[in-house]
Structure 1
């Protein structure tokens, strides 16, 4: 199937170096499309199927895709998501796209308009394609894919990964961290629209000859024991999921997994955000019966593969710690002045030597690449995450230190949300922060100043939430909108988001010496429950 679809792409004029955008649900055609692109040397750019028209259009245009691969729709909690309609709207202003390939997922139960001369059905094109397609010779530094991630300036960054180093990194980490064997059935619950799906659904496990389980849908449909029933039915051996999901499973209760046969499992993993010790212990004891190793992994879209993780059976674990760097990975924790942070003190997590899967640049933006990752501490890679190292040399990740929120395992830019809110005709100013959330890790909270004469009603708050979700996608929808007459600012006019976080989470306020108007903070504290705790 990979060879046939590679031939389809070639028949549409896709050559080595041409970019192909992919916007699909979690169906087999998705990894087939990625591998077909890799086979002919065409960098793929996967866009998460939950993203909006504008997000899809922006990513297509930035990478100047020649072809878009999509589907008529996908299923989510029993409802159809009309991906083709979203793609059609995005393509109204995407001049580089010449052809659109549409996979048939929903079928006759929905109408799918096809644009003559541009759109073709996957199944029809593949049926006519040849089965032989020699792989394109590739240099190790040729681009394999571009994957967009949120940026603190509000514009997504096109992370550029290359062929040789990336594949070396994901192959080695998948084999050694998950102890993968050819007989394994590996289930990573991420979407392929994120880097976790690229690395540990497609390239890592498949290069190790493991069988991969692909799941389309939600963990609570048709029932809350869905994941455990899938493991029971398909005899999953290695299970890799996010702390957000684990905390949700905890709330639903141990009786759900307890009612399923999970004896096929032999290793558990976590990914996407720091895991709190309580969730780690529940996962280990309830799902792993206190016997299975848990590998808590830290890495990023930019790093390409896992960087810090225990090796099962070799590195003793501590609940909540990603433990130590993978062999050959060199990291450190630095103070503000660039000196190494002492044991027990939070600092900036950095990588001090090159590694196989490192991003080579940002697509069409070398200057931003250097500024974002290499300017803060010259000569070392700035991860943007905070961390603490304990007396045993174990690393404890503390989340983002910049203005990127980690919401249910997804990087969401506060700047991007603020920009979307301010585009609404009733909004004068907005500031977005990530508030600690027991399930999602962080919850987007927006402080909004309305234009003169606009009433701050609950209905208007709901309308603004919907506006952001439509513009950026559901994952970016603010959980709370707080209307305020003004925002706390420094005397130079900079919004003090740190104080907004303190207020939202009920903490004692930090340094307020640069605050221009203390009454603004007093008013906000009153809205959030009065006196300091």
Structure 2
């Protein structure tokens, strides 16, 4: 990332868990000249054959001229024309020979520096492009004024996540702070891994998602030890709503005075990262994007009334361009004159705090990756034993939020655990593990009495009432349409 930015080569970081088909689609969309990978990668204690998956994704031919491979695990890999070992490319010069100097490229401020994929729009890829100087401006301003008063900084998240790139690498390094980078997952080799790293490196600020914090809270065998609590001064939760119970749990072991405590941040990929934090480290210097909640006509609504969040002031991290076949679908950001429409629903509370209620469109952020509910639904509808389907979001004690597939089986099909497994596996194989529903709610039928939005709200309520065993156990529950109608009436 840093080397590409230094020479003016635009880059994109692809998520490791992507299925080969999705990986090939993104490579085809970005059209890189060079692909960096490694022989294998450690995940959950096992080796993922990263080079083999990259080779399979490139079989259709996407214009990649060279694949640069990092020797990481010692896994045997196939070798093709254009493949290069990284250690051969960066081998040191002969003893006594002068080291080559390569000054940074002289580039315009708006030179593209990286691209990030959004959730697909109606099956078509969309990528947001950001430029060099605005990216650095946002990284610098938010790191010191929103997140960290200084010290060791760790963003616990996948490097393919925009926040991990901008706020986990660029921001800390631009200020001269130490940034922690970690390979693997926080539950391997044990649930103590997070606290071991916080204590070992003296992490002062930890940034991650509420889903990760909720998972850590559920590890009763690994409570925060005193040495880790003594080092940690700030916890920043971003990308998903932070519920009051989870905030209270974090506040029980993080000091909450001055520039310490927990902060709840909001931002967007289109805006280059985090835009606001409810408890910024330096509120007097944190840039103000002019966040206002408006109704459909664009008029500001009073406190306590839900609406769409807009930006009324310029923001340095605004996207440079939108590329990909689905790009025309993103024009809703500029549907109102002189403001940027976020597509997020929010409400401003009497204490001036913004509470984010989710997306207006059917997109959800799970552990830093955008997942399109309509894309998940389309995969479910492709199954021959599915007559209709809907996808809803359900609160999950272990993961924060979870996708639930609400499925109407086709006539004569048994709504059993085998079918549920086939459906969730199909989503995982097509869209990746994060898009895989955590449970399936079979429904007798979908009637015509409810609008699509009311039906989704009612199905969400029914899924919440059924409980985890009815959605994931060996005997899935089948809800009657009358149950859905009753839930719609109760929520009216």
Task: State TM-score, norm by structure 1.
Answer: 0.81
Long gaps (5+) in structure 1? 1-33, 316-323, 508-519
State how far apart, in whole Å, the 2-side matches of 1:141 and 1:526 are: 51
Residues 492/84 of structure 1: CA separation in 2 closer, same or farther (3 Å cut): same
Residues 255/40 of structure 1: CA separation in 2 closer, same or farther (3 Å cut): closer
Aligned residues: 474
State how far apart, in whole Å, the 2-side matches of 1:53 and 1:367 are: 23
Superposition pairs for residues 140-179 of structure 1, below 5 Å?
140-179=109-148
Confirm whether residue 249 of structure 1 aligns to residue 249 of structure 2: no
State how far apart, in whole Å, the 2-side matches of 1:353 and 1:233 are: 42
CA apart distance, 1:195 = 0.8
Q: 1:396 aligns to what SS in structure 2?
A: strand
State how far apart, in whole Å, the 2-side matches of 1:528 and 1:444 are: 22
Confirm whether residue 113 of structure 1 aligns to residue 113 of structure 2: no
Q: Contact (CA 8 Å) 1:436, 1:443: kept in 2 or not?
A: yes
Q: 1:237 aligns to what SS in structure 2?
A: strand
Q: Contact (CA 8 Å) 2:12, 2:114: kept in 1 or not?
A: yes
State how far apart, in whole Å, the 2-side matches of 1:68 and 1:489 are: 50
Long gaps (5+) in structure 2? 94-98, 467-477
State how far apart, in whole Å, the 2-side matches of 1:425 and 1:385 are: 34
CA apart distance, 1:289 = 7.5
Aligned twin of 1:412: 371
The CA deviation string for residues 93-121 of structure 1, in whole angstroms up to 9 with x for no partner, is 242212111111111xx321122x12211
Confirm whether residue 295 of structure 1 aligns to residue 263 of structure 2: yes
CA apart distance, 1:349 = 0.9
CA RMSD of aligned residues (A): 3.1
Confirm whether residue 389 of structure 1 aligns to residue 348 of structure 2: yes
State how far apart, in whole Å, the 2-side matches of 1:57 and 1:206 are: 32
State how far apart, in whole Å, the 2-side matches of 1:530 and 1:496 are: 7
CA apart distance, 1:441 = 3.4
Aligned twin of 1:46: 13
Q: 1:443 aligns to what SS in structure 2?
A: strand
Superposition pairs for residues 41-440 of structure 1, below 5 Å?
41-107=8-74, 110-115=75-80, 117-127=81-91, 131-181=100-150, 184-253=151-220, 256-258=223-225, 260-288=227-255, 292-310=260-278, 312=280, 326-364=286-324, 368=328, 371-375=331-335, 377-440=336-399
Moved more, 381-390 or 426-435: 426-435
Q: Contact (CA 8 Å) 1:232, 1:261: kept in 2 or not?
A: yes
Q: Contact (CA 8 Å) 1:310, 1:326: kept in 2 or not?
A: no
Quick one: higher RCO (CA 8 Å, sep 6+), 1 or 2? Answer: 2
Residues 527/100 of structure 1: CA separation in 2 closer, same or farther (3 Å cut): farther
CA apart distance, 1:210 = 1.1
The CA deviation string for residues 17-66 of structure 1, in whole angstroms up to 9 with x for no partner, is xxxxxxxxxxxxxxxxx111111211101111121112211111111111
The CA deviation string for residues 184-226 of structure 1, in whole angstroms up to 9 with x for no partner, is 2211101110011111122111111111111111122111121
Residues 491/431 of structure 1: CA separation in 2 closer, same or farther (3 Å cut): closer
